[in-house]
Amino acid sequence: MSGYNNILVGLDLSEESAQVLERAAQIAAYSNAKMSLAHIIEPLTFAYGGDVPMDLSEVQEQLQNQAKEQLRKAAADLNIPADRQHVVLGQPATEIHRLAEESGCDLIVIGSHGRHGLALLLGSTANGVLHGAGCDVLAVRVHAPSE
């Protein structure tokens, strides 16, 4: 089996993202693959059901700018160019699938927190990405820094 050529790494930009990046970078180095980074921001109107009686566009823009800066810093360490850094507004699993397809990715790497109980029943981003991807998906089990 040959290695991967084009890897999309979906990051939530939490402290645990470094673990996901490290694993993806190892695979990319082994396969001599290109890597792209993606962070998906759900619109604030999704979270509040559109029932908020104020304009959230400025807050949304600040969140996007902060995410772009965090992604830029993560990409700089791995020499990933700006055109392979994506901060997108939308539903995480759907947007990761779209980016992977548009970019011709053959592997998606995401973090998985391994939740149990109610969180597991309600589903997760990792589960959503896995069940609709047109390519391989690696869910990296991440651990909180204190573990």
Instruction: Tell me what the mean pLDDT of segment 9-14 comes to.
Output: 93
Q: How far apart are CA 130 and CA 125, in angstroms?
A: 9
> What is the reported pLDDT for 92?
92
**What CATH number should be reported for the domain holding residue 85?**
3.40.50.620
Does position 45 have pLDDT exceeding 70, yes or no? no
**Poorest-pLDDT segment among 21-25, 26-30, 123-127:** 123-127
Report the SS3 class of residue 18: helix
Report the SS3 class of residue 122: helix
Q: What's the pTM value of the predicted model, to 2 decimals? A: 0.86
3-state SS of 55-87 is: CCHHHHHHHHHHHHHHHHHHHHHCCCCHHHEEE
Range of the domain at 91: 6-141
Please give the tally of structural domains in the chain: 1
Nearest residue to 140 via CA among 106, 105, 114: 114
Instruction: Assess if residue 146 is contained within a domain.
Output: no
Q: How far apart are CA 71 and CA 10, in angstroms?
A: 11
Instruction: Assess if residue 90 is contained within a domain.
Output: yes
Instruction: Assess if residue 41 is contained within a domain.
Output: yes
Instruction: Assess if residue 147 is contained within a domain.
Output: no
Instruction: Assess if residue 108 is contained within a domain.
Output: yes
Q: 99: pLDDT confidence band, cut at 50, 70 and 90?
A: very high
